[in-house]
């Protein structure tokens, strides 16, 4: 089975700030990586807000949005898109809006993408930099002592996020959630275990996510609250560090982080089974759907510990 994840723009090391800089965009995996996004329906607003309301009618999020330095032009779209061009895209709206947008990607897309959601300005910004090669994945997993795995993923532009949140808009943006999606496995309609794996964060997700979130705490002294989300065809997972986890992982000790992730997965390795009474049921039917959602909630609750919290929210 092919697993997928988002990496924070580096392989190994502790810097969390890639030497390429945040302008290095999509240099691998796309035939037209240097081309502009074709026929974008929405113009570049950059620092100009996409509305003309009188100040008295603007929401707090709209007022704060006008003050944000986005570092580069953002191509604001009516929905999230999997961007195959060189320009950074975004979406105005609620977090629930973007979560719903990603659902179709889980079913239709063959490539990864990632975003951050900034709740204070109600905006999604694309952060996917480039696809990750299997060779990089192999090297990354060896570095962290994880077993070999065939995976697909995307480098998240962590350098851009750090500059945006921690430097250019210091004290204005204090909450950021990184998002990506998991495609539905080809075998998910026949293999219950694979459908459950689709819905959970991978070990790479939890390792890289723990490091990114601990990095926010380390660099800002807790002024920036970071968390992560993964969308699947079955719902979405959220995960974050506890206060203790932020302190424990602030040194970015890879052994400590990896050992915790291994322990989290070991705690649920016997749970991913289908009861005999549901054998033969339609994998996309209501009975399996209800059971899967309940099981994933229980698995996330058991995976959670005093360092990392994981929760699952099934589609209705």
**CA pair distance 74, 301, nearest whole angstrom:** 37
Tokens read off for 11: 């392989």
* Model pLDDT, residue 140: 78
What are the beta bridge partners of residue 175?
Answer: 225
Cβ-Cβ contacts under 8 Å for 247 (sequence gap 6 or more) = 217
Per-residue DSSP letter, 281: S
CA 107 to chain centre: 17
* Model pLDDT, residue 25: 39
pTM of the prediction?
A: 0.84
**CA pair distance 212, 190, nearest whole angstrom:** 35
What are the beta bridge partners of residue 239?
Answer: 228, 310
Sequence ranges of the domains in the chain: 3-314
Residue 70's closest CA among 25, 126, 16?
A: 126
Run means of pLDDT, 10 residues per run, the chain, 316 residues: 44 32 35 34 44 82 95 95 90 97 94 94 93 77 78 83 96 96 92 95 93 95 95 98 96 93 95 91 93 97 98 95
Per-residue DSSP letter, 239: E
Residue 193 belongs to what H/E stretch? helix 192-199
């Amino acid at each position: 089975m092919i697993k997928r994840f988002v990496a924070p723009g580096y392989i190994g090391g502790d810097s969390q700030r890639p030497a390429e800089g945040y302008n290095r965009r999509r240099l691998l995996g796309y035939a037209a990586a240097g081309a502009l996004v074709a026929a974008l329906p929405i113009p570049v607003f950059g620092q100009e807000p996409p509305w003309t309301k009188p100040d008295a009618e603007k929401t707090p999020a709209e007022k704060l949005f006008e003050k944000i330095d986005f570092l580069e032009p953002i191509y604001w779209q009516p929905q999230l898109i999997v961007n195959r061009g060189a320009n950074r895209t975004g979406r105005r709206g609620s977090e629930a809006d973007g979560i719903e947008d990603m659902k179709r990607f889980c079913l239709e897309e063959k490539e990864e993408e990632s975003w951050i959601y900034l709740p204070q300005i109600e905006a999604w910004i694309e952060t996917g930099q480039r696809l990750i090669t299997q060779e990089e994945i192999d090297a990354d997993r060896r570095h962290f002592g994880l077993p070999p795995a065939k995976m697909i993923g995307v480098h998240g532009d962590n350098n851009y996020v750090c500059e945006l949140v921690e430097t250019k808009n210091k004290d204005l943006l204090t909450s950021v959630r990184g998002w990506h999606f998991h495609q539905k496995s080809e075998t998910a309609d026949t293999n219950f275990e694979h459908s459950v794996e689709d819905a959970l964060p991978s070990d790479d997700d939890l390792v890289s996510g723990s490091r990114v979130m601990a990095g926010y705490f380390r660099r800002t002294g807790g002024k920036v609250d970071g968390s992560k989300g993964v969308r699947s065809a079955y719902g979405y997972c959220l995960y974050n560090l506890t206060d203790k986890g932020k302190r424990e992982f602030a040194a970015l000790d890879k052994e400590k982080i990896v050992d915790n992730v291994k322990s989290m997965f070991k705690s649920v390795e016997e749970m991913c089974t289908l009861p005999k009474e549901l054998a033969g049921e339609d994998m996309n039917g209501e009975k399996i759907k209800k059971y899967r959602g309940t099981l994933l909630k229980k698995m996330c609750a058991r995976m959670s510990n005093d360092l990392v919290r994981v929760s699952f929210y099934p589609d209705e």
